[in-house]
Structure 1
Amino acid sequence: MNKEQLLKRKAEISALLADETRSIDNLDEIGTELRDINDQLAAIEKREQLMKDAADINTGTALETRTIQKFNTENPEQRELGTDSLEYRNAFMNYVLKGEAIPSELRADAITKTGDVGSVIPQTVLNKIIEKIEAVGMILPLVTRTAIKGGVTVPTSTVKPVATWVAEGAGSDKQKKTTGSITFNYHKLRCAVAASLEVDTMALPVFESTFINNVVEAMTKAIEQSVISGTGAGQPKGILAETPEEGQALDVAKIEYKTLTDAEAALPLEYEANAVWVMTKKTFMDFAAMVDANGQPIARVTYGLNGKPERVLLGRSVVLCNYIDSFSTATAGEAFAFLFNFKDYILNTNYQMGVKKYEDNETDDLVTKAIMIVDGKVADKNSLVVLKKATTV
């Protein structure tokens, strides 16, 4: 319907509603129709007004309108300008964080040259922090893990009964069984790293994840270090802190083929099944440089199905670590390699590693910490063969 028809129908409805003597059954439908008519009339009037304004502009009779936008009310001489100003830095932060455009009044009316690019365009930050890599995690998977309550004594035995052949009707001598013991204590290992509140709220998320990775890596390194060379005082007792059985501590003046054969000869037959070599990569490469009479290398490096190197000396696996000195840098009388079955070392973690975050109320610093209750000892040292650098070389 056009405007005249809409106005006519609106008048009819108004008259119908004003007649009090007449009953209306479809009052809801009439109300809906009336609202629809009003909407159509409003749209028609708006369209007519726009057409009138356009006609006035074409004939030049329209009034001129101006929009005044206020930018700066401060004294230009007192206002800091340039990309070093506080306003620009705040605007640039909002641009980076929220995508808000930098106001035009903060941008200088000049041509950007190549030498100016670095001061106004931020460098892209890769979501990764490059750090020096440390070799950790080679020892812990090999040792025996327990969760015994601190102070508990674990019995050990060094004597086994012996069976004897006897004649018919005869008996054998009665034998006793003697036992020793290993007692696990409470040694707390703690690592805490703090960051100020400002750093924690403004730094990249990768910064926080790197914090946690560093703490866990530091704890792992400390535990593995103690497994190899711990003193036993306030920390686990390491493998090299044990005194090898008689004949199983060898002085080595020179790395040669006989070094390997002497070590294998010192290892008891009963313990050779699961014993492995432990040394640095540099020491292993000294062994790898040896060749037999036919020029074939003594050491072997094979690759498994996953392509991971598997190092072997005379058929025995080699575990590389940095918790022991190399032969070339070791001092006289210091161990540079050893044979051992890591299953004979018990690492007891009474409280597993837990990473927590808390706030220092005095400084508002946010601290990331990790705590463990750890102790470890050699349960059976019969598989230990230690190679030490000879006093005279």
Structure 2
Amino acid sequence: MLVWLAEYLTQFESGFNVFSYLTLRAILSVLSALMLSVWLGPWLIRRLQRLQIGQTVRDDGPQSHLSKSGTPTMGGVLILAAIVVSSLLWANLENKYVLVTLFVVVGFGVIGFVDDYRKVIRKDPKGLIAKWKYFWQSVIASCAIGFLYSTSQLTAETALLVPFFKEVMPQLGILYLFLGYFVIVGTSNAVNLTDGLDGLAIMPTVMVAGALGVFAYASGNVNFAEYLRIPYLPLSGELLVVCAAIVGAGLGFLWFNTYPAMVFMGDVGSLALGATLGVIAILVRQELVLFIMGGVFVMETLSVMLQVGSYKLRGKRVFRMAPIHHHYELKGWPEPRVIVRFWILSLMFVLIGLATLKLR
């Protein structure tokens, strides 16, 4: 939005041309999202407390979590608002990649909001029925990936990049639709499963978003793309602004979500953030690298799958409790130790993912 205004004002004052620089707009996006989150956070927390929108804690979970009952939830609204506002301010809204990403942010945010609303306001412990949740996730993901496939103009936009290999870039064709669907929906639910401890999900999300911003910038710059031997995607550079907004909004939310949390993001935040990471990874053609960088999300998801599968097949549990962060809590690890160690693991995974840019 401000990009258009700056372009108009450039004809009167050349100094406004500085806003055409992508890196400057990314910095401004981080700062605006961060300041917006920190500024609105106290007001939102008070509002949620007044409306008695508090977290319900499972009786069969770790006993240390019982004290969290009643803590305001649905704070993800703050994250999404900061992301959308910062993106609208500093991104080029004529870029279809930006518009698709914002569509996914808002769409999955609405699904999460309805789920949280049913749980917290209507006191329905099941929230939005699972089949309807997956149905609407599927609808939004299919619309996004279908639009991208139908409007793709470069062969690179539908090629699969295999990490650590320079020349392995098979064309996906119609398989692009299936891969994109599973990446968006899968990442959405993976982040949702990870969001079980104070700050556990938001910090890996911030790290992965920052790294995807690096991939977006490199892919959108013809010189960097040629040097790194990755496909040149002219539209992808603008996603750096959106990734920067996620980083700023996430850090601003962490100000209130760090242990002991003053507010939880709820499904409105976790479902939307996961889906957003997924769609950005698709747009910059780094689906497999997302699998690496989101290693913590993968661990959490696999732990649930193993737990459920083992119990159904053998009648035995693999972990004391799933997702796996609860397993370590029940082993006696203090919550802050689990959180920080998972952050460290996430940083390692992200660095490995970034290394794929050069190790080819």
Q: Note whether the superposition's TM-score is higher than 0.5.
A: no
What is the TM-score with the length of structure 2 in the denominator? 0.18
Structure number with the higher strand fraction is 1
Greater relative contact order, per chain length (Cα 8 Å cut-off, separation 6+): 2
